Structure 1
């Protein structure tokens, strides 16, 4: 971090466990760094996401953002082992209003993190390589533009672990790829490659490798940053206006739905299977 007293505090990467942040030429580059394998999203990620993007939003020097992942993968999604303690109270057989209310509050706090990225006035360009699973898809659908390397793979996988995706994919994906593709991805939990993702409009372009995808994202961000910043923010405001109410309504509904219905034998089985590294056996209970 610079010793300049005027440097915004959010730029100090030493304060983060889940992110690295650099700023140059009016572009902030945010890199997911874990600490879990595959940049999985654990407690540190959710605690740091809001202050990070609030800082970027308030930084007058920043005009665009590049979002990417460290290592071979963008993100494996929600870190179930690390978040297990937060899920345990609501999964108890006798969980009543108290634990369910606390779970609902937690979902709303996590949703706020993704919303802070989506609502950032500085356009966000995501560069995806390797796996982008579950929460990773939530994150990139909150970005304004998405590019990927040829090895990228995407999955709205929550259904396979006994959950309804509640961080924004079900609200934002239909506005990006359409209702039919969203239903196929969310109901099957299937994996799709970069070519299919480009075909359905999830990503704008596919590049040969991770380096080329990141370079392309940096190029797009530089093009955005070269434009009048207040006009860019105005364009984003207008584009977001027509969909913001629908997204907010969907997020409120799914938070309440999961607080009421997420606890199940199937979810317990899914989490146990993750810890035991086996295929789950769902019974519809």
Structure 2
């Protein structure tokens, strides 16, 4: 991969944005490679947590402006062209939605600027850690457009609406300290190194739990976010009934008593239906 480096150790996948000279900006290759690696991790089922970190001064400066000048055609001269913009955005949105629907939790370590499309990306993750120098910016309004790949849909679930409006209307920067105060960031650390260390430690703790219980927990949390309490309780009953394991509970309790790591099976590998037959 050109835009990322992927490693897997002890059931933890670590995906690193590795184009610091370009401020880890997002272009079609970035989207394609991210989509491919997320699909791979989801299909294989061996990783139990995914950590995303970056390199250089900034986590990501968002969408590469060169992309709008060449690689992406945004035809506003006809209704047909404008309709194609919808389909293009739907495709782009689906990649970041993969982070949200991935069968494992996603923890992101953010340093420096998290700008424009990078905000779209990190709001689709489960847990956000930041270095003290980190900041968030809904940059799209500063270049004359509406944020369109998830920020305006996910950020109101994570921050007070008045603050979301302030950021989205003005393009102001939100500091790591203020982001933590309002719940966007779980914790702020002194340096990028300490931020990544905390993210990896969190991933290790998650990876020690039964993967199917983590999967079920992520399903329940996301469902409850978008549904009523009554509907969510009903879904919880169905979900728990589907994945309950006496063996997992016994092993978890025994491992805790014996002060050892539990032994749990990984999620099953997925075989895409279209490859069967």
The TM-score with structure 2 as length reference comes to 0.78
**Cα distance in 1, alignment partners of residues 58 and 20 from structure 2:** 13
Q: In the alignment, is the contact (CA less than 8 A) between 1:36 and 1:42 conserved in 2? A: no
**Cα distance in 1, alignment partners of residues 46 and 72 from structure 2:** 39
2:99 counterpart (113, 117, 132): 117
The TM-score with structure 1 as length reference comes to 0.76
Aligned to 2:4: 19
2:48 counterpart (59, 63, 66): 63
**Cα distance in 1, alignment partners of residues 135 and 63 from structure 2:** 16
**Cα distance in 2, alignment partners of residues 54 and 83 from structure 1:** 26
**Matching of residue 100 in structure 1 with residue 82 in structure 2:** yes
Q: Deviations along 1:182-207, whole A, 9 cap, x unmatched?
A: 11111111012111111111101010
Give the Å deviation of 1:181: 1.5
Q: In the alignment, is the contact (CA less than 8 A) between 1:17 and 1:35 conserved in 2? A: no
**Cα distance in 1, alignment partners of residues 51 and 115 from structure 2:** 19
**Cα distance in 2, alignment partners of residues 89 and 203 from structure 1:** 34
Q: In the alignment, is the contact (CA less than 8 A) between 1:156 and 1:186 conserved in 2? A: yes
**Bigger Rg, which one:** 2
How many residues are paired up?
A: 228
* Secondary structure of the corresponding residue to residue 77 of structure 1: coil
Q: In the alignment, is the contact (CA less than 8 A) between 1:129 and 1:149 conserved in 2? A: yes
* Secondary structure of the corresponding residue to residue 75 of structure 1: coil
Aligned to 1:30: 15
**Matching of residue 43 in structure 1 with residue 28 in structure 2:** yes
**Cα distance in 2, alignment partners of residues 190 and 159 from structure 1:** 10
* Secondary structure of the corresponding residue to residue 90 of structure 1: coil
* Secondary structure of the corresponding residue to residue 16 of structure 2: strand
* Secondary structure of the corresponding residue to residue 166 of structure 1: coil
- Which stretches in structure 1 are left out of the alignment for 5+ residues? 1-15, 247-285
**Cα distance in 2, alignment partners of residues 20 and 27 from structure 1:** 14
**Cα distance in 2, alignment partners of residues 30 and 245 from structure 1:** 31
2:126 counterpart (131, 134, 144): 144
2:193 counterpart (211, 230, 236): 211
* Secondary structure of the corresponding residue to residue 95 of structure 2: helix
Give the Å deviation of 1:35: 7.5
Q: What pairs up with 1:114-263 in 2 under 5 angstroms?
A: 114-243=96-225
* Secondary structure of the corresponding residue to residue 51 of structure 2: strand
